[in-house]
Every structure is written in C-alpha cells, then in structure tokens.
C-alpha cells in the first residue's frame, strides 16, 4: 500500500520575507540561539487552514514571548481562504494543508511579479473514523470511495448506503451510513476528494463541518456515522478504521 496516499504536507505560504518555521525534528543542535530584535511592533495576520490552527496558536504564543508588542490575529476558515488573503494583502501568512493550485499561484504572481513562498512545516496523517462501538474490521480504499463518492470514479464498486453492505451483521445490517466531512474551502476536503475519490464528487448527503475537530465530534456522537479528519483530532469516542489499498490486501491500522 502506498502510504503517500494518506499523508499530506502542510505548509505556510508567506508573502514577502517572513518565514521562521522549519521541521523541529531536523533542527540541528549547532544552530545559534535566537536573539530577539528590539523595537518590533505591529500586526501579524494569519488566514487559512483549520487543520493548522492549533499549530498557529502554539507558534503565535511562542512568538509573542519574544515580541509582546506584536498583535497576532489567526483566522482558521480553511485552506482555500489563504491564497486570496495573501493576494489581497489581508494576511501576512497563509497556512494551507494542501498544495497551492496553479490559478492561486498565478493570481498572486500576476499582482506582485513573483510567486508566493511556501514553507513546509508538518506532515498530516488523515484517517477514516467511525463511532467507537462500530465493529467494522477495516475498509478498502475502493469501499471508502463507494461510501463517500457520488460517482465512484476509482472503481466499479456500487454505492454503499447501509452498514450491512459492508458485511456488518444483525441490527447493523439495517443501519444507514451517516456521512461527515469538511466543507469545500478546506484543504482536507480537496485532498480527500482528489486522492480517495479520484477527483469524483461527494455524495449530497455528506454533512459538511466547518472544522476537523467537529467532524470527529459528530462521528463520536452518532453510532451510524463515518467521517474523515486528521489523526491529531482523534478522541476516545471514535475509532480510526484500518485501511487497505485493495480488496485483497491486508488492512493497515493507523499508528500516527
């Protein structure tokens, strides 16, 4: 199974010279200790990914230890809000949990004559979650496509609408599958659509949520539910479903 299908790189996209983040695990012990610069004041605005919101808050708190006179504002409305905010200068930093689209880069470059600078900062592992009491042993990627996709572009697998179609016995066999996911401005939405649905369309009955945590929360409160979100949002009320690349492959449990 190709692990790369389930991992995505999150990045900060910056306009100008701002860029202070790197992979902490790769940081060298030989790097000099950072020395704050005197007299730094003003505003620093971040608009973009909900997935990166907690990291942005963490970095903001640390940044303000060095520069308490800088007002940091973080708006986590989704990755698709980052590029226009940078282009229109309503944000200095645009966290995204997907690659920038060609038209987003072109819009910025047309206005300023150079491309925005992308700084990779993290790798996010996506998972498919069900309620903790759901007994499903695992799902193939084609089955996930058949659960969420309107047109099943990845395979000829028929649409799954009841848990019984996935082999669950007894009363589970008659339960309708309740779908939860992100909204269209989310990088998670775009990545899942491209990689898992083969760029197909989501079913119309997917309950779109404004944030990654709310997807997990919704799944945890509905025993019939299934949803996708980052592993960092996992709670005790849900279970990450082991996945397989193909129907005959072994299921691989999430370990992130």
Residue-wise pLDDT for 65-99, tens only, equals 999 999 999 999 999 999 999 999 999 999 998 88
- Tell me yes or no: is domain 125-244 CATH 3.40.190.10: yes
List strand residue ranges (DSSP E) for the chain, in order.
7-14, 42-47, 70-75, 93-96, 117-131, 139-140, 178-182, 207-209, 225-230, 238-240, 243-244
Domain 8-124 class? Answer: alpha beta
Domain ranges of the chain: 8-124, 125-244
Residue-wise pLDDT for 191-242, tens only, equals 999 999 999 999 999 999 989 999 999 999 999 999 999 988 999 999 999 9
pLDDT at 1: 35
27-41, 47-61, 86-100, 127-141: range with lowest mean pLDDT: 27-41
pLDDT band at 21 (very low <50, low <70, confident <90, very high): very low
Distance between CA atoms of 33 and 231, rounded to whole angstroms?
Answer: 32
pLDDT at 123: 84
pLDDT at 9: 53
């Amino acid at each position: 199974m190709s692990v790369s299908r389930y991992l995505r790189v999150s990045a900060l996209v910056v306009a100008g010279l701002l860029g202070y983040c790197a992979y902490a695990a790769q940081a060298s012990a030989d790097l000099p200790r950072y020395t704050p610069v005197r007299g730094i004041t003003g505003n620093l605005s971040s608009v973009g990914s909900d997935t990166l919101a907690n990291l942005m808050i963490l970095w903001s708190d640390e940044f303000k230890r060095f520069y308490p006179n800088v007002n940091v504002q973080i708006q986590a409305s989704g990755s698709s809000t980052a590029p226009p905010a940078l282009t229109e200068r309503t944000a200095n930093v645009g966290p995204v949990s997907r690659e920038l689209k060609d038209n987003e880069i072109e819009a910025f470059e047309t206005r300023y004559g150079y491309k925005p600078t992308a700084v990779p900062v993290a790798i996010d592992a996506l998972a498919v979650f069900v309620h903790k009491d759901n007994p499903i042993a695992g799902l193939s990627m084609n089955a996930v496509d058949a659960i969420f996709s309107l047109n099943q572009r990845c395979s000829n697998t028929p649409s799954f609408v009841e848990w019984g179609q996935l082999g669950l016995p007894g009363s589970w066999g008659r339960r309708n599958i309740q779908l939860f996911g992100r909204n269209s401005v989310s990088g998670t939405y775009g990545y899942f659509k491209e990689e898992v649905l083969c760029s197909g369309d989501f079913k119309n009955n997917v309950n779109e949520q404004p944030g990654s945590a709310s997807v997990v929360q919704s799944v945890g409160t509905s025993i019939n539910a299934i949803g996708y979100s980052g592993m960092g949002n996992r709670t005790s009320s849900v279970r990450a479903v082991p996945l397989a690349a193909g129907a005959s492959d072994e299921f691989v449990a999430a370990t992130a």
